[in-house]
């Protein structure tokens, strides 16, 4: 047993050594690779934090709605508060690489679909990545399902075009996109150009008439009004519905009554009970802020606006969008790069998927070996593996047929939700909320609703299955 | 504390620290840390690269 644990620790060092070697060798080959290494090392930090804090939105809401345990939800909200604080510093300093996305009811609907999917599959987008690093086969299937769904959905037209409202079609055509982008064909293209792009990008600072980059906009608008107040409200709701039960019961038994002061004590105890997730959230927040700083610094150094220019200088211009760009968010993101690597494979197999907005106009399908965001995701899995191996929590788990089916169905729903909401629980919720984007909360509310529906459905499914099995035994 | 964990943290800190250090001078050169009024940075884009990107929208025969 001890020998096994020692072996796992050696493997952890081998993985970290591998990433160090990749960084050193590529940098020695060409300076520009440092841009990709920046994504690599921050991805590794995210992976380590996620695994340490068990940072999974699906588990968090499943625990809350199914068994009334708020620990992880509280941890996630605390993490959001920390990231919000760091983001405000970064924004007020003018280093932020964050751009708000168009907000509207579509964000909420997307979140709803995503929320149902994450409960079905047993892991959100970020949770599946760190669980894959722990050797979980189901999580790998979820990632595959999200990736294939997004990549296909981005280019599907045909009969889906009949479901596009005429107003979306007309509005999409009026955007005058380059001729190589066939904006009139494809459901997602017309949804994006004909509907989503017509919505405003709204931050809490903007709503208050402040500039995002000003100290008052970043701290009073985006942080206080956009993160602290809603997060505290949400935590208060969690405390009064789920968190206070055991605490109040004990208090009534010993003291006979509960005062407002007792509730404050109970609230604080609830916050402290999720120390591990909160601590991970603190480091995640700091790392996210530092990544924005580093990427912005490298962009100034190399005189670029997007990694597409780096790839061109490295002599790899395959898969760049029509604007010469690739997906290069400058901060933590999960789902778009998953769609890209499958998009690249499909393109190589003969599917022309560069005539749509998602790949052809915005993100491109660069070679995964040179895709900065793919370096981040791979190292994130590596970082999670390092932590799991060091804590003797790494184990290969083969999926059963039932779990595999749920993983594929859940991954499919998360893939659709991600593309409709322009991101997942990280890109459309965690990062957006922390940066004061109103749409982030809309996605989050939808995601919570979806998780609730998912949990209720699962309860019904399990009870039905058990009843059937019991009936079979009686026979 | 576990020795493997300390080594992992040291390696990560080393690389992350290098990256942070590497990205500070461009900010200084861009005058971000000096007392200038305007916040934020504007990348100095290479002219040849700018033209290359403008040409991407043109048809082959136009080039």
Write out the two tokens for A414: 């998360």
Q: Residue A464 in contact with residue A255, Cβ under 8 Å?
A: no
Which of B8, B15, B40 is the closest to A213 by Cβ?
Answer: B40
Which of A41, A304, A324 is the closest to B15 by Cβ?
Answer: A41
The predicted pLDDT at position A395 comes to 94
The domain locations on chain B are 1-31
The span from the CA of B27 to the CA of A177, in Å, is 35
As for how many domains chain A has, the answer is 1
- B-chain CB neighbours of A25 within 8 Å are none
At residue A201, φ and ψ (nearest 5 deg) are -95, 120
Instruction: Please give the full DSSP string across A115-170, using - where no structure is assigned.
Output: HHHHHHHTS-HHHHHHHHHTTBHHHHHHHHHHHHHHHHHTT--GGGGGGS-HHHHH
Q: B13 vs chain A: nearest CA distance in angstroms?
A: 9
**Per-residue DSSP letter, A278:** H
Predicted confidence (pLDDT) at residue B30 exceeds the cutoff of 90? no
Whole-structure pTM over 0.90, yes or no?
yes
- Contact A178/B16, CB-based, under 8 Å? no
- Contact A94/B41, CB-based, under 8 Å? yes
Interface test with B, best of A212, A296, A297 (most B CBs within 10 A): A297
**Per-residue DSSP letter, A38:** H
- For chain A, positions 67-86, list CB contacts with chain B under 8 A: none
The predicted pLDDT at position A14 comes to 97
ipTM of predicted complex: 0.89
Within 10 A of A355 (CB to CB), how many other CB atoms are there? 19
Query: With left for phi above 0 and alpha for psi between -120 and 50, is residue A350 left, alpha or beta?
Result: left
Question: Is residue A381 within 8 angstroms of chain B, CB to CB?
Answer: no
Within 10 A of A424 (CB to CB), how many other CB atoms are there? 34
Q: Average pLDDT for consecutive 10-residue bins of chain A (475 residues)?
A: 87 97 97 97 96 92 92 88 89 86 96 97 95 97 97 94 96 93 94 96 95 93 96 95 87 86 91 84 87 92 93 92 94 94 96 95 96 97 96 93 96 98 95 95 97 95 89 73
Which of B8, B20, B49 is the closest to A12 by Cβ?
Answer: B8
Interface test with B, best of A16, A96, A322 (most B CBs within 10 A): A16
Identify the CA nearest to A42 among candidates B43, B41, B17.
Answer: B17
Q: Residue A357 in contact with residue A106, Cβ under 8 Å?
A: no
- Contact B25/A293, CB-based, under 8 Å? no
Q: How far is CA A7 from the centre of its chain?
A: 32
Q: Residue A152 in contact with residue A414, Cβ under 8 Å?
A: no
At residue A202, φ and ψ (nearest 5 deg) are -120, 125
The predicted pLDDT at position B52 comes to 64
What is the tens place of the pLDDT at every residue in A419-451? 999 999 999 999 999 999 999 999 999 999 999
The predicted pLDDT at position B53 comes to 61
Q: Give the range of the structural domain holding residue A82, as residue numbers without chain letter.
A: 2-474
The predicted pLDDT at position B63 comes to 46
Interface test with B, best of A10, A301, A313 (most B CBs within 10 A): A301
Interface residues on B facing A, Cβ-Cβ cutoff 8 A: 2, 4-5, 7-8, 11-12, 15-16, 19-20, 22-27, 29-30, 32, 39-41, 43-46, 49, 52-53, 56-57
């Amino acid at each position: 047993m001890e020998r096994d644990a020692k072996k796992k620790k050696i493997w952890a060092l081998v993985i970290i050594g591998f990433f160090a070697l990749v960084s050193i060798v590529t940098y020695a080959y060409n300076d520009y690779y440092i841009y990709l290494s920046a994504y690599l090392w921050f991805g590794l930090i995210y992976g380590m934090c996620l695994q340490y804090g068990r940072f999974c939105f699906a588990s968090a809401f499943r625990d809350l709605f199914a068994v009334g345990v708020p620990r992880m939800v509280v941890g996630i909200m605390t993490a959001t508060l920390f990231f919000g604080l760091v983001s405000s510093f970064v924004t007020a300093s003018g280093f932020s690489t964050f751009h708000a996305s168009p907000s509207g009811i579509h964000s909420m609907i997307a979140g709803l679909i995503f929320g149902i999917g994450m409960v079905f599959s047993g892991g959100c987008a970020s949770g599946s990545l760190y669980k894959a690093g722990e050797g979980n086969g189901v999580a790998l299937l979820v990632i595959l399902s999200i990736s294939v769904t997004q990549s296909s959905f981005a280019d599907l037209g045909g009969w889906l075009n009949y479901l596009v409202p005429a107003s979306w079609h007309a509005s999409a055509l009026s955007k005058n996109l380059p001729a190589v982008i066939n904006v009139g064909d494809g459901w997602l293209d017309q949804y994006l150009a004909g509907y989503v792009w017509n919505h405003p990008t709204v931050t809490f600072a903007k709503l208050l008439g402040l500039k995002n980059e000003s100290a008052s906009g970043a701290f009073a608008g985006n942080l206080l009004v956009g993160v602290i107040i809603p997060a505290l409200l949400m935590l208060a709701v969690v405390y009064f519905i789920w968190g206070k039960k055991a605490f109040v019961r004990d208090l009534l038994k010993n003291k006979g009554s509960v005062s407002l002061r007792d509730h404050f004590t109970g609230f604080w105890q609830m916050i402290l009970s999720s120390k591990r997730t909160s601590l991970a959230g603190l480091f995640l927040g700091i790392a996210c802020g530092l990544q924005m700083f580093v990427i912005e610094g490298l962009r100034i150094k190399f005189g670029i606006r997007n990694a597409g220019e780096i790839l061109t200088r490295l002599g790899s211009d395959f898969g760049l969008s029509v604007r010469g760009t690739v997906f290069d968010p400058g901060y933590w993101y999960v789902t778009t790069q998953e769609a890209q690597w499958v998009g690249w494979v499909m393109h190589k197999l003969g599917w022309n998927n560069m005539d749509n907005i998602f790949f052809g106009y915005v993100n491109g399908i660069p070679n995964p070996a040179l895709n900065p965001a793919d370096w981040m995701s791979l190292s994130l899995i590596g970082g999670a593996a390092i932590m799991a191996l060091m804590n003797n929590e790494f184990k290969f788990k083969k999926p059963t047929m039932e779990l595999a089916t749920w993983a594929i169905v859940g991954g499919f729903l998360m893939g659709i939700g991600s593309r409709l909401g322009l991101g997942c629980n990280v890109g459309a919720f965690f990062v957006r909320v922390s940066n004061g984007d109103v749409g982030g909360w809309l996605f989050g509310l939808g995601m919570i609703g979806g998780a609730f529906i998912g949990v209720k459905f699962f309860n019904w499914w399990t009870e039905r299955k058990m009843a059937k099995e019991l009936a079979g035994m009686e026979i | 504390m576990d020795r493997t964990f300390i080594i992992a943290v040291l390696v990560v800190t080393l690389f992350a620290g290098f990256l942070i250090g590497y990205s500070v001078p461009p900010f200084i050169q861009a005058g971000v840390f000096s007392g200038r009024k305007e916040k934020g940075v504007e990348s100095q884009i290479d002219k040849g690269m700018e033209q290359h990107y403008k040409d991407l929208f043109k048809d082959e025969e136009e080039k």
